[in-house]
């Protein structure tokens, strides 16, 4: 009997999915992919055909074409239910699993500051616990992002400083610093539109774009 076709069982049915994050609809088969999105800084991931697996954005938020808001969230991660953060999961075209923990910069920092608030420790600690339990050895990229208010160069620097500050906070909470890299996206990779169809400013869009992504994998 040939052993070079692990994608099916002896009966011809699809082989069981070993990673639950590959079967978010829990139908026993790998979720079908239908495209890719470029999340910036070299991170390109696949999107799912079944858009029902993608959480609905909060009221007033319109996702951009290259938005991580187009990615699904893991199910049954109850340990993060009370944390002021969101989680998205995807695979790269070459099959690498990534999980993205997203925190709003307004949760982590005062306006235009790169000093992590003391009140940000609980959500960061919960994320560290999640990473330690699920991905104890995976590399971690901390990515800061800004809205479009102000000068692009200033926003680039601020995003870099905030990414470095969160990386430092993760180290203080027990993450091996050799696993960490810090990246500033500036304002170049918004996840939400900052202008409404009538031309007015979307404050909620700007708020969502001010974020820090902790990309594991």
Mean pLDDT of 161-189: 99
Q: Which of 2-11, 38-47, 139-148 has the lowest mean pLDDT?
A: 2-11
Q: What CATH topology corresponds to 20-216?
A: 60s Ribosomal Protein L30; Chain: A; (3.30.1330)
- Domain ranges in the chain? 20-216
pLDDT band at 76 (very low <50, low <70, confident <90, very high): confident
What is the pTM for the complete model shown? 0.92
Q: Buried b vs exposed e over 78-104: b needs ≥16 C-beta within 10 Å?
A: eebeebebbbbbbbeeeeebbbbbbbb
pLDDT digits (tens, 9 = 90+) for 93-130: 999 999 999 999 999 999 999 999 999 999 999 999 99
pLDDT of residue 212: 99
Q: pLDDT tens-digit profile of 193-210? A: 999 989 999 999 999 999
**For the purposes of burial, counting CB atoms within 10 Å of the CB of 145, is it exposed (0-12), middle (13-18) or buried (19 or more)?**
buried
């Amino acid at each position: 009997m040939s052993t070079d076709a692990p994608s099916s069982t002896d009966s011809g049915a699809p082989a069981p999915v070993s990673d639950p994050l590959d079967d978010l609809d829990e139908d026993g088969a790998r979720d079908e992919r239908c495209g890719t999105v470029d999340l910036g800084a070299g991170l390109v991931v696949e999107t799912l055909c079944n858009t029902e697996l993608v959480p609905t954005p909060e009221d007033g938020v319109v996702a951009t074409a290259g938005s991580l808001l187009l990615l699904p969230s893991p199910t049954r991660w109850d340990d993060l239910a009370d944390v002021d953060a969101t989680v998205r999961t995807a695979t790269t075209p070459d099959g690498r699993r990534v999980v993205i923990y997203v925190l709003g910069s307004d949760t982590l920092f005062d306006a235009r500051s790169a000093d992590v608030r003391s009140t940000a420790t609980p959500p960061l600690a919960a994320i560290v616990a999640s990473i330690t339990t699920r991905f104890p050895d995976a590399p971690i990229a901390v990515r800061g992002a800004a809205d479009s208010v102000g000068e692009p160069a200033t926003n680039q620097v601020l995003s870099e400083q905030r990414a470095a500050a969160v990386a430092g906070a993760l180290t203080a909470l027990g993450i091996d610093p050799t696993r960490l890299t810090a990246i500033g996206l500036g304002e170049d990779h918004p996840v939400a539109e900052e202008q409404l169809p009538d031309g007015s400013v979307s404050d909620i869009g700007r708020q969502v774009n001010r974020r820090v992504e902790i990309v594991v994998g």
